[in-house]
């Protein structure tokens, strides 16, 4: 029987790569960090704030996200959205994700290449 710790570790590794894709997809609609955290969790991508905020900063530094401060509300919030370059990268990542899914399905079904 597989231990819960081993399973949890492998699930975490699997999700670590997909959280970038999920964040870019979600941020096609501008949002601030905490709302993104809630939306990702609601869609099956539970991510810790200590993981998400550094990821958002990294994606912004790479030019994949843009951001702006909304100071019109009682508390200023930084809103993020996918940049044009981010859309290009996301398209490639989604293509690769689909190819990986196809390959795994082929292995499961025993399809020879």
Q: Check: CB of residue 79 under 8 Å from CB of residue 32.
A: yes
Please report whether residue 98 resides in a domain.
yes
Please report whether residue 113 resides in a domain.
no
Chain segment 15-70, per-residue pLDDT in tens: 888 999 999 999 999 999 999 999 999 999 989 999 999 999 999 999 999 999 98
Range of the domain at 9: 4-107
Please report whether residue 67 resides in a domain.
yes
Please report whether residue 93 resides in a domain.
yes
Please report whether residue 20 resides in a domain.
yes
Q: How many domains does the chain have?
A: 1
Please report whether residue 23 resides in a domain.
yes
Task: Tell me the C-alpha distance between 68 and 79, whole Å.
Answer: 5
Chain segment 56-92, per-residue pLDDT in tens: 999 999 999 999 998 888 888 999 999 999 999 999 9
Please report whether residue 19 resides in a domain.
yes
CATH number of the domain that 101 lies in?
Answer: 1.10.10.10
């Amino acid at each position: 029987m597989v231990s819960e710790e081993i399973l949890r570790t492998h699930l975490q590794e699997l999700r670590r790569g997909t959280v970038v894709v999920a964040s870019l997809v979600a941020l096609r609609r501008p949002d601030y960090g905490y709302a993104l955290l809630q939306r990702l969790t609601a869609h099956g991508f539970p991510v810790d704030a200590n993981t998400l905020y550094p990821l958002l900063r990294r994606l912004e530094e790479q030019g994949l996200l843009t951001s702006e401060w909304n100071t019109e509300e009682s508390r200023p919030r930084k809103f993020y959205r996918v940049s044009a370059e981010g859309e290009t990268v996301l398209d490639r990542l989604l293509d690769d994700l689909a190819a990986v899914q196809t390959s795994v399905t082929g292995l499961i079904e025993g399809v020879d290449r």
